[in-house]
Amino acid sequence: MTDFFQSRQLSVKLGRIILKNPVITCSGTFASGLEYNEFYDISILGAVTTKSMSLERLHGNPPPRIYETASGMLNSIGLQNEGIDCFLENELPFLVKTGAAVIVSIFGEDTQEFNKIARRIKSYEKEIIAVELNLSCPNVKKGGMAFCALPDEIYRIVSQTREILKTGIIAKLSSNFNNIPDAAAKAAKGGADAVSIINTIAATAFDINTFKPRLGNITGGLSGPAIKPIALLKVYELAKENIIPVIGMGGIMNWEDAIEFIIAGACAVGIGTANFINPDCGRLIIDGINDYMRKRNINDINILKGIVFKNYGAII
C-alpha cells in the first residue's frame, strides 16, 4: 500500500536538457505531434521530436516510399517537409499549447544552411527544449553524400549552432559509418548536450516478378524490430565510454525494449516505427516503465541507466 503512493523519479537530465521521463518520440515518425494528441495527451511524453525540417520546402523522394520487411520497414521519404518557417509559424504554436516539451529536428545541405535554420529558431527558443541536428541522413541535393557524418564537420555544425542557440542541442549520428564514438566526441566538444543513435540503416528490397525496386528511390532506411540488436550494441558501446549522454532508439516497440536500452546505457529512449503500429504506444511505454519500477521497488530510473556495464564491465 505504501509502495503504491511512493513517488518514483522518472526525470532524466541530459546536459542542460531535463525531461520529465525518458520516453521521447523519434523524428519523422510522429508527424508534428499534434495528430497523435487525438490518441493521448502527448504532454505526458518526455518530449516530442518533430520531423526534420529544412530551410526551404522539400518534396521528398518519388513513390513508393514505404515497404514492409520481415520485422521492420523500409522508408525513403527523402525528408519531405514544408520548411522551417512554415513549421515555426503554423505548427509550433499549437504544439506548445498541448503542453508538450518540443525538440525541433533540423537538417541542412551544408553548415551554412544549418546556421540559417538555427537563426530562424532563435526567436522561438523559449518554446522548445532542444534542437536535434540530423547529421545522419544522406544529403538529398548533393547526390546522397553524407557530408555531415564526418567528425570534423560534426564539430563545425554543432559548435556553430551552439554559438547561435542557448537551448539544448542533440546530435543525431549516423549508424552507417563505423565512427560513432569519434563523432560523439566531436559533438560533445562542439557543445552538444546529447547524441541520439541510431537512425535507420541503409537498405533496399526488390520485386522478383517486376524486377523493380520496392522503393522509388531504390535505397532507403530500415527501421523497427529488425534493427534493435544493432541499435542496442551501438548504444552500449558508446554509453560505456561515458563521452556524452545517449538517447537510444532503433526498434523499441514496448516498455521492455525501452528498459533494455536504459540498462544498456541510454539516458532516454526514442519511439519510432512503433508509433505506426500503435499510435498509443508512447503512453503504454511510460505506464510499463512505471509499473516495472513499482514492482521491483526501484525509485529512480537513473539507477537502471547502464546497469549492464556497471555490473559486468566490458562484456564483448
Ligand X SMILES: Cc1cc2nc3c(=O)[nH]c(=O)nc-3n(C[C@H](O)[C@H](O)[C@H](O)COP(=O)(O)O)c2cc1C
Task: Convert the chain into a string of H (helix), E (strand) and C (coil).
Answer: CHHHHCCCECCEEECCEEECCCEEECCCCCCCCHHHHHCCCHHHCCEEECCCECCCCECCCCCCCEEEECCEEEECCCCCECCHHHHHHHHHHHHHHCCCCEEEEECCCCHHHHHHHHHHHHCCHHHCCEEEEECCCCCCCCCCCCHHHCHHHHHHHHHHHHHHCCCEEEEECCCCCCCHHHHHHHHHHHCCCEEEECCCEEEECECCCCCCECCCCCEEEEECHHHHHHHHHHHHHHHCCCCCCEEEECCCCCHHHHHHHHHCCCCEEEECCHHHHCCCHHHHHHHHHHHHHHHCCCCEHHHCCCHHHHHHCCCC
The answer to the question of residue 28 lying near ligand X (CB under 6 A) is: yes
The answer to the question of residue 117 lying near ligand X (CB under 6 A) is: no
The answer to the question of residue 134 lying near ligand X (CB under 6 A) is: yes
**Please, which residue, 157 or 227, has the CB nearer to ligand X?**
227
The CA distances from residue 147 to 76, 81, 202, 237, in Å, are: 19, 21, 16, 24
Give the nearest distance from C-beta 260 to ligand X in angstroms.
13
The answer to the question of residue 76 lying near ligand X (CB under 6 A) is: no
Q: Looking at 37, 75, 161, 174, which residue binds ligand X (CB under 6 A)?
A: 75
Residues in region 149-178 near ligand X by CB under 6 A: 172
The answer to the question of residue 282 lying near ligand X (CB under 6 A) is: no
Residue 109: closest CA among 160, 151, 144, 84: 144
148 catalytic, yes or no?
no
**Please, which residue, 10 or 148, has the CB nearer to ligand X?**
148
**Please, which residue, 249 or 285, has the CB nearer to ligand X?**
249
Q: Looking at 37, 105, 167, 174, which residue binds ligand X (CB under 6 A)?
A: 105
The answer to the question of residue 131 lying near ligand X (CB under 6 A) is: no
Residue 280 and residue 254: Cα distance in Å, rounded?
11
The answer to the question of residue 52 lying near ligand X (CB under 6 A) is: yes
The answer to the question of residue 26 lying near ligand X (CB under 6 A) is: yes
Q: Which of 26, 86, 137, 267 is catalytic?
A: 137
The answer to the question of residue 273 lying near ligand X (CB under 6 A) is: yes
**Please, which residue, 137 or 304, has the CB nearer to ligand X?**
137
Give the nearest distance from C-beta 256 to ligand X in angstroms.
14
Give the nearest distance from C-beta 200 to ligand X in angstroms.
5
Residues in region 198-257 near ligand X by CB under 6 A: 199-200, 223-224, 227, 249-252
Cβ-closest position to ligand X: 28
HSE-up (13 A, CA, CB side) for residue 221: 24
Stretch of 27-35, 157-165, 232-240, 260-268 contacting ligand X, by CB under 6 A: 27-35
C-alpha cell at 210: 517486376
Give the nearest distance from C-beta 67 to ligand X in angstroms.
11
Cα dihedral 236, 170, 272, 8 sign: positive
**Please, which residue, 221 or 314, has the CB nearer to ligand X?**
221
Q: Looking at 58, 77, 188, 203, which residue binds ligand X (CB under 6 A)?
A: 77
Q: Looking at 272, 282, 288, 306, which residue binds ligand X (CB under 6 A)?
A: 272
Q: Which residues lie near ligand X (CB under 6 A)?
A: 26-29, 51-52, 75, 77, 79, 105, 134, 172, 199-200, 223-224, 227, 249-252, 272-274
The catalytic residue positions are: 137
